[in-house]
Amino acid sequence: MKKSILIIIVTAAAAMNAGAQNPWTLQDCIRYALEHNINIRQRENAVKRSEIELETAAAGRLPAVSAGASQNVSFGRGLTADNTYANTNTATTGFSLGADINLFSGFRTRNTIVRSRLDLEAATADLEKARDDIRVSIAQAYVQILYGMELAETAARQIDIDAQHVERISEMAANGKASEVELSQQKAALAQSRLTATQAENNLKLALLDLAQLLELPSPEGFSIVRPETETVGTLLPSPEEIYDAAVTLRPSIKAEESRLKSSQSAIAIAKSPLYPSLSLSGGIGSNFYKSSSIPSEAFWAQINNNFSQYIGLSLSIPIFSRFSTRNGIKSAELYRDDQRLQLENAKKALYKEIQQAYYGAVAARDKLQSSREAAVSSEASFKLVEAKYENEKAGITEFNEAKNQYLKSVSDLAQAQYEFIYYVKLLDFYKGEELRF
């Protein structure tokens, strides 16, 4: 039995480890984060608490029912029925069942239910906003990893080129066709390329660590991502105003503040409820049993039956003066409503600023992409020309390395510009309600 359990545990651990080695797509990362991110789980608990509060508010329309039982015993000298004192023992047993229901309380119950429902809507929108925030954060970290992968590959290519030329110059120096100075210069260039590659690999590991921590993974070991196909996106961008008009009706941050504003208006109605009279209905049944050592008593069930009683009553309370507590409560609720109006306005302005930043980031990335493409084409042509001249001994090692470095830098700049532009375009689509994917 123990052996079987051990086999199951080892097999499950191996499966988990194997799964951890599979590259993650952006959708995999987002899906996992939505299930495991601590902030999102806290927001989910906030939604559950709001659901409980709404259920409690709705239950305010139900009657309250209570039951009671009492047992009293007295002993010692006491006054008897014939006006003398004697040592007597008495016992009294009582039972009761009562209910009361609030018939009218200035619409407080109804408005409390409305407010609780709006608070639930706000909490749900806050949860969706937290999910959107984690989606954007993961997309940013994902793009940073993609750029880091491009830099690492570019640095590796640079090492390959420098290593080939070190080998070539070594052969030339052995045949007396190159000086030791040229060989030393090329070896120094190779050493610098290896240092650049080490830095690029370290930056890539840090980028992977950032994303792994966003996902709440226990360790970044074995974690990698899928490199998507570089998507061709159009250069025509919608205006910030056009994006904002769509986003303001969709974004959960705006919906949450709108719900809170409506909730604050319900709070004013709740604060006004003490201005109205309140009416409640109550009723109940009861009975008791009495026994004394000085006089004969009927049997228990006979007394319970004979002493059975019922009652029903209406209670009306009319407010006259509450030491200004109601008036001040209304003023406080109105101030809270005004604060929520400002908060909604501030949320809309913040959303518009975010869209503006994403838009102008996309514009800058688009311009950078166009320039990087031109620079990459020209630098590649220049490098091939200098490389041919260098191989025919018509260009020096310094000129060759400068052309090579410029070409590799243009390749890195192009990769960065491509990913930046794709990210900003997808982010603008995300503000319009589309899924964040690339």
- Structural domain contains residue 127: yes
Cα–Cα distance, 65 to 97 (Å, whole number): 8
In terms of domains, do 99 and 112 share one?
Answer: no
- Structural domain contains residue 246: yes
Query: In DSSP terms, which residues pair with 316 in a beta bridge?
Result: 279
In terms of domains, do 267 and 331 share one?
Answer: yes
First-to-final CA distance of the chain: 48
In terms of domains, do 420 and 373 share one?
Answer: yes
In terms of domains, do 78 and 135 share one?
Answer: no
Query: In DSSP terms, which residues pair with 64 in a beta bridge?
Result: 100
In terms of domains, do 110 and 156 share one?
Answer: yes
In terms of domains, do 244 and 291 share one?
Answer: no
Residue 312 phi, psi dihedral angles, 5° rounding? -145, 145
Among 318, 338, 369, which residue terminates a domain?
318
- Structural domain contains residue 309: yes
In terms of domains, do 88 and 57 share one?
Answer: no
3-state secondary structure the chain: CHHHHHHHHHHHHHHHHHHHHCCECHHHHHHHHHHHCHHHHHHHHHHHHHHHHHHHHHHHHCCEEEEEEEEEEEEEEEECCCCCEEEEEEEEEEEEEEEEEEEECCCHHHHHHHHHHHHHHHHHHHHHHHHHHHHHHHHHHHHHHHHHHHHHHHHHHHHHHHHHHHHHHHHHHHCCCCCHHHHHHHHHHHHHHHHHHHHHHHHHHHHHHHHHHHCCCCCCCCCCECCCCCCCCCCCCCCHHHHHHHHCCCCHHHHHHHHHHHHHHHHHHHHHHHHCCEEEEEEEEEEEEEEECCCCCCCHHHHHHHCCEEEEEEEEECCCCCCCHHHHHHHHHHHHHHHHHHHHHHHHHHHHHHHHHHHHHHHHHHHHHHHHHHHHHHHHHHHHHHHHHHHCCCCCHHHHHHHHHHHHHHHHHHHHHHHHHHHHHHHHHHHCCCCCCC
Cα–Cα distance, 112 to 273 (Å, whole number): 10
In terms of domains, do 175 and 295 share one?
Answer: no
State residue 354's pLDDT score. Answer: 94
Residue 429 phi, psi dihedral angles, 5° rounding? -65, -35
State residue 78's pLDDT score. Answer: 62
Cα–Cα distance, 313 to 279 (Å, whole number): 11
- Structural domain contains residue 329: yes
* Residue 267 near residue 333 (C-beta atoms within 8 A): yes
State residue 74's pLDDT score. Answer: 82
- Structural domain contains residue 128: yes
In terms of domains, do 342 and 413 share one?
Answer: yes
Single-letter residue type at 346: N
In terms of domains, do 73 and 214 share one?
Answer: no
In terms of domains, do 91 and 195 share one?
Answer: no
pLDDT tens-digit profile of 238-261?
Answer: 999 999 999 999 999 999 999 999
Matching residue, tokens 């305010």: 60
Cα–Cα distance, 145 to 160 (Å, whole number): 23
- Structural domain contains residue 11: no
Determine how β-strand 64-79 pairs with β-strand 309-317: unpaired
C-alpha angle 257/262/268, rounded to 5°?
Answer: 125
pLDDT tens for the chain, residues 1 to 438: 334 333 333 333 433 443 446 899 999 999 999 999 899 999 999 999 999 999 999 999 999 999 999 999 887 766 666 666 667 778 899 999 999 999 999 999 999 999 999 999 999 999 999 999 999 999 999 999 999 998 899 899 889 988 988 888 888 788 877 778 878 888 888 898 899 999 999 999 999 999 999 998 988 888 999 988 766 666 688 999 999 999 999 999 999 999 999 999 999 999 999 999 999 999 999 999 988 776 777 888 888 898 999 999 999 999 999 999 999 999 999 999 999 999 999 999 999 999 999 999 999 999 999 999 999 999 999 989 988 887 777 777 788 888 888 888 898 888 888 889 999 999 999 999 998 887
- Structural domain contains residue 286: yes
Cα–Cα distance, 292 to 85 (Å, whole number): 14
Our count of domains for the chain comes to 2
What residue numbers bound the domain in which 302 lies?
67-103+280-318
- Structural domain contains residue 138: yes
Among 293, 318, 343, which residue terminates a domain?
318
- Report the sign of the C-alpha dihedral through residues 376, 381, 384, 389, in that order: negative
- The domain that contains 219 carries what CATH number? 1.20.1600.10
In terms of domains, do 222 and 247 share one?
Answer: yes
